[in-house]
Amino acid sequence: MDAISVIRTKRDRGRLSDEQIDWVIDAYTRGAVADEQMSALAMAILLNGMDRAEIARWTAAMIASGERMDFSALSRPTADKHSTGGVGDKITLPLAPLVAACGAAVPQLSGRGLGHTGGTLDKLEAIPGWRASLSGAEMMAVLGEVGAVVCAAGDGLAPADKKLYALRDVTGTVESIPLIASSIMSKKIAEGTGSLVLDVKVGSGAFMKSLDDARELAATMVGLGTDHGVRTVALLTDMSVPLGLTAGNALEVRESVEVLAGGGPADVVELTLALAREMLAAAGLPDADPAKALADGSAMDVWRRMIRAQGGDPDAPLPVARETHTVLAPASGTLTRLDAYAVGVAAWRLGAGRARKEDSVQPGAGVVLHAKPGDPVQAGTPLLTLHTDTPEKFASAEEALTDAFTVSPAGTSFTPGPLLLDRIA
């Protein structure tokens, strides 16, 4: 085997053999295939695609590059959720303790934000003392005692994907559906969960802009999970508008706690409950009632225990940005558009996100929304509030929001679209 022949096969729209895939993933992980060679192969895959068998083998090779976790010793069935990322997507925070409160174990391996999409670990690290890095033994202990854990994946889990993901990020090959699907599913299958629910975002604030592309990605991932013995289902959900009323780390934690307390924005509650029902059904607990667990406080109890188990203080005050700036409604009428991508970029520029993986984030930075599409607004009243420790960033954040919203004349008939767009199983 040699890298050039593998590259040429895919460049010329050929099908990679199992042996070629196994060899190139292993050789790249060991350093025997150079970054520039794997970059060329990734671009060829982006341009020419892969069939289902190729994607399945590529995923299996990445799983085989590292260790696999085993939760068979737990007394509960396991269920996990993965979101393809969006703006204001804080769903993991209330969802993991909610599903645990209903009887499943939730081993949630999460990541950090990059660009306009937020990261679950960044949000939780806004809680004083909370730790993202746990050993395998610590993770099992928290799962056994609490029923839910949210933490970073260890270095031994699909190391080929970790290396390839970093390369794709700097070579313009992130958008390849075969590479997205195999990246997500190699980690989730190696994680060892018994069932998996995928939240595939669609819209301006998502990686998948069209419903057709999102369906293709969802179907590919559901097929990969099924082929590897993991009960897998996908929900396609709207990401043209930010989820909830906040985008930013501590801001989103505060909103998540509101949901666990029985309140919070209607769209966050709707999606949390929809995903919880799918996870519980996939775990063999279809009769559990997540709405009841939100209402009676049992989900909040699990949240508090989960945060404490990872070193956090659930009662500690959350960080607050030192400076705020209000964006006012330009006219009276009905808000008919609020672009998720623009809000995400504004939060990123304020310090809530990072441009490179090694960058730090401001825990208090972000954007608070005072209206969502369909709401009436009055000229000169607050539409958005920007939060940051570095007020010199307000100008660039406002620039990102220049064409982010539309206020239509009062009386304009407008009905927001559905949050749940499709289900693939």
- Residues labelled catalytic: 82, 161, 168, 183, 187
**β-strand pairing of 376-377 with 333-338:** antiparallel
Give the count of beta carbons closer than 10 Å to the beta carbon of residue 76: 17
CB 221 within 8 A of CB 181: yes
End-to-end CA distance of the chain: 37
The dihedrals phi and psi of 311, each to the nearest 5 degrees, come to 90, 0
The dihedrals phi and psi of 126, each to the nearest 5 degrees, come to -70, -15
Which residue is it, tokens 């029985």? 262
- SS3 readout for the chain: CCHHHHHHHHHCCCCCCHHHHHHHHHHHHHCCCCHHHHHHHHHHHHHHCCCHHHHHHHHHHHHHCCCCCCCCCCCCCECEEEECCCCCCCCHHHHHHHHHHCCCEEEEEECCCECCECCHHHHHCCCCCCCCCCCHHHHHHHHHHHCEEEEECCCCCCHHHHHHHHHHHCCCCCCCHHHHHHHHHHHHHHHCCCEEEEEEEECCCCCCCCHHHHHHHHHHHHHHHHHCCCEEEEEEEECCCCCCCEEEHHHHHHHHHHHHCCCCCHHHHHHHHHHHHHHHHHCCCCCCCHHHHHHCCHHHHHHHHHHHHCCCCCCCCCCCCCEEEEEECCCCEEEEEECHHHHHHHHHHHHHCCCCCCCCCCCCCEEEECCCCCCEECCCCEEEEEEECCHHHHHHHHHHCCCCEEEECCCCCCCCCCCEEEEEC
CB 330 within 8 A of CB 381: no
